[in-house]
Amino acid sequence: MSVSNNGNNNLRAQPQRQRGGFGGGRAAVMSVEKPKDFMGTLKRLIAYLKPQAVPLLLVIIFTVLSVTFTIFAPKIIGEATNELFEGIISKQLPAGTTKDQAIAELKARGQDQLAEMISPMDVTPGKGVDFNALLHILIILLVVYLLAAFFQWLQQYTMAGVAQNTVYRLRRDVDGKLARLPLKYYDNHSHGDILSRVTNDVDNIAHTLQQSITQVVHAIAVVVGVLIMMFSISPLLSWISLIIIPLSLLVTMLVIRRSQKYFIAQWDSTGALNGHIEESFTGHNVIEVFNQQDKAIGRFDKENERVYVASFKA
């Protein structure tokens, strides 16, 4: 009697298993959807990041330093350009005269525009380019670029450790959760879909942590630093440039609104494809016995096409 009951239970479980396999999983059950509890998920992620508070602070510091040196470099390039240009101009002025005398002579010839250009410049008529001063500026520029690259490397290296340590704890908790789940869950869900959650989704979180956080901090530092540098050079041009920002934000929001659904569909279809592949390999003998090879291949082509289309559009 107990054998009969177990057999009935197995028969009842098989249709559920088939709904989860051969293209089951998230994509077959769900359409494109938004996160059900974004703030709750964000709080849980922040809880995982709390032990990494000190490394995260170092990431912010390294990012700010890297951006500071990167933004300061063009100003040094400007100084080198001025040094070279002033040397070329001074070489063309008659030697043995002062700057004021050279300007007066240019105005006497009717070259008022050239005289006005030379007026704010630091030139010595007949001297030419001061290559020692130019070399000194270029050495400073090289040091600045090296420091920017060094702090950027430190930021990426530290953030990689933060991401991997966080994901290590996440994988450990996921493994413990899977060990506590009842067998009914595995009967009702595709093995490939479960594997996709443990591997692809967790790797996606690791990629997001390592890339997105640093990009956000870097973007904020760049915006603040560039604005300071722009207003220190020319407030008028800075305000003209800022007018474009609302237009770019509008375009960005339109693109994000259209592309978000494709990114969600990409991961949904990937879970479905993994589920079909896993079920096809584990049930290979059954597929051959019932002569379902063409059906399995056709389903694979369909799911593979869905992944391709969603990924391409995303």
pLDDT at 94: 78
Q: Predicted confidence band at 36 (pLDDT cuts at 50, 70, 90)?
A: low
State pLDDT tens for residues 133-182: 889 999 999 999 999 999 999 999 999 899 888 888 888 888 898 889 88
Task: Supply 68's token pair.
Answer: 């500071």
Q: Predicted confidence band at 67 (pLDDT cuts at 50, 70, 90)?
A: very high
Higher pLDDT, 79 or 14: 79
Q: Are 209 and 294 found together in one domain? A: no
State pLDDT tens for residues 200-220: 778 888 888 878 888 888 889
Q: Are 223 and 91 found together in one domain? A: yes
Does residue 202 contact residue 210 with C-beta atoms inside 8 Å?
no
Q: In sequence order, what DSSP letters do the residues of 216-264 get, joined into one string?
A: HHHHHHHHHHHHHHHHHH-HHHHHHHHHHHHHHHHHHHHHHHHHHHHHH
In a domain, 18, yes or no: no
Whether pLDDT at 51 is above 80: yes
Q: Are 87 and 222 found together in one domain? A: yes
In a domain, 21, yes or no: no
Rg of the chain taking only CA atoms, in angstroms: 32
Task: Supply 272's token pair.
Answer: 């479905």
CA distance 37 to 41: 6
Q: Are 179 and 282 found together in one domain? A: no
Task: Supply 70's token pair.
Answer: 């990167």
- For residues 38-45, give the mean pLDDT: 79
Higher pLDDT, 115 or 1: 115
Average pLDDT, rounded, for the chain = 81
Residue 150: how many other CB atoms lie within 10 Å: 14
Residue 261: how many other CB atoms lie within 10 Å: 16
In a domain, 20, yes or no: no
Higher pLDDT, 194 or 15: 194
Does residue 195 contact residue 274 with C-beta atoms inside 8 Å?
yes
**Cα-to-chain-centroid distance, residue 43:** 21
Q: Are 59 and 125 found together in one domain? A: yes
Instruction: Answer with the one of 211, 233, 255 that is the final residue of a domain.
Output: 233
In a domain, 30, yes or no: no
Higher pLDDT, 116 or 79: 79
Residue 209: how many other CB atoms lie within 10 Å: 23
Does residue 228 contact residue 181 with C-beta atoms inside 8 Å?
no
Q: What CATH number is given to the structural domain containing 94?
A: 1.20.1560.10
State pLDDT tens for residues 20-29: 433 344 433 3
State pLDDT tens for residues 72-102: 898 899 889 988 888 888 887 777 778 788 8
Q: Are 260 and 128 found together in one domain? A: no
Q: Are 90 and 152 found together in one domain? A: yes
Whether pLDDT at 11 is above 70: no
In a domain, 24, yes or no: no
In a domain, 10, yes or no: no
Q: Are 65 and 145 found together in one domain? A: yes
């790797």: which residue's tokens? 203
Cα angle 252, 257, 263 (rounded to 5 degrees) comes to 105
pLDDT at 60: 92
Domain enclosing residue 279, as ranges: 237-314
Best CA proximity match to 229, nearest among 71, 73, 63, 62: 71
